Amino acid sequence: MTDYEDILYSVVDGVATVTINRPQSLNAFRRTTLLEMIEAIDHAGADPRVGVIVLTGAGDRAFCAGGDVNWEADGGLENRGEEDRGAENYVKDVYAAIRRSLKPTIARVSGYAIGGGNHMAYFCDFTVASENAIFGQNGPRVASPAQGWLVSYLVRVVGAKRAREMWFLCRRYTAAQALDWGLVNAVVPAVGLDAEVRRWADELLAMSPTVLKLLKMSFDEEYAPLRELQEKEYLPLVKPDFFASGEQDEGARAFLEKRKPNFDAWR
């Protein structure tokens, strides 16, 4: 495999680990990050040495803080053609790689799992979190137009009321709250995080790999109708006007300038 710019990839005793390696940006992703993750996950899925895939972020400050706001402010959210399809489409491609690998995937979460980092964690088969983990969404706060099954799948994880609370209000939730909601499977002290992830991986590696693949396919089929229904452009009329209106620019600028956004002009 080629050297990566934004991620690290390793295989140890049956476990492939894909690490977002942008700690200076709280492991926020950009186009390069997502494309490299897709390649690495596909590689792990095809590798007979690999039985479990772990997704994580470098350092202990963040699993992933979502899309890099500097990239988004420069138009990273927009679908500008085949060469730059927009963040949402690349994120969907990461989840497609997770699904087609048919191998159990564990999110190893330390620190912030915000925005795209949060839904990356809840789309994995399992989430194991450090006690310092913080979960939440950012879309309405920074005018990032998340939509479709990326959003509504959370209802299957935590229920309709909690999903709306998390997405609409952009609050932050501790690891203990996430465990109570069913957003994560286990919470452990930071010093024990790697050992706990390895324990889950070893239990999975002891199982029949073919049966695990069948189970993963079965769970995937349960929400396939939701995904297929919403795979079309969910905001075909709103999106062009949205990006031209300046609303997304205000959200991104306010975040970068560390101030509260003013969306009054778009009410």
Does residue 257 lie within any of the structural domains? no
Does residue 52 lie within any of the structural domains? yes
Average pLDDT over residues 208-233: 85
Q: What's the pTM value of the predicted model, to 2 decimals? A: 0.89
Residue 150 scores a pLDDT above 80:
yes
CA atoms of 266 and 185, how far apart (whole Å):
39
Does residue 215 lie within any of the structural domains? no
Residue 222: both structure tokens together: 């349960």
> What are the two backbone dihedrals, phi and then psi, of residue 136, each rounded to the nearest 5 degrees?
170, 170
Does residue 250 lie within any of the structural domains? no
Residue with tokens 């809840």: 122
**Residue 202: pLDDT band with limits 50, 70, 90:** very high
Q: What is the CATH number of the domain that holds 39?
A: 3.90.226.10
What does DSSP say about strands 15-20 and 7-12: parallel, antiparallel, or unpaired?
A: antiparallel
- Give residue 257's pLDDT: 86
Does residue 34 lie within any of the structural domains? yes
Per-residue pLDDT tens over the stretch 23-64: 999 999 999 999 999 999 999 999 999 999 999 999 999 999
Residue 154 scores a pLDDT above 60:
yes
126-130: strand order across its sheet: 7-12, 15-20, 52-57, 105-109, 126-130, 186-188
Average pLDDT over residues 143-171: 92
Average pLDDT, the chain: 89
**Residue 239: pLDDT band with limits 50, 70, 90:** low
Does residue 91 lie within any of the structural domains? yes
- Give residue 264's pLDDT: 86
Give the helix/strand (H/E) hosting 254: helix 247-256
Per-residue pLDDT tens over the stretch 72-124: 655 555 555 555 556 677 888 999 999 999 999 999 999 999 999 999 999 99
Number of structural domains (the chain) is 1
- Give residue 1's pLDDT: 55
Domain hosting 96: range is: 7-193
Does residue 236 lie within any of the structural domains? no
Question: Which residues pair with residue 16 across a beta bridge?
Answer: 11, 53
Q: At what angle do helices 149-158 and 87-101 cross, to 10 degrees?
A: 50
Does residue 260 lie within any of the structural domains? no
- Give residue 249's pLDDT: 79
Annotate 173-213 with three-state secondary structure. EEHHHHHHHCCCCEEECHHHHHHHHHHHHHHHHCCCHHHHH
Residue 175 scores a pLDDT above 70:
yes
Question: Which residues pair with residue 187 across a beta bridge?
Answer: 129
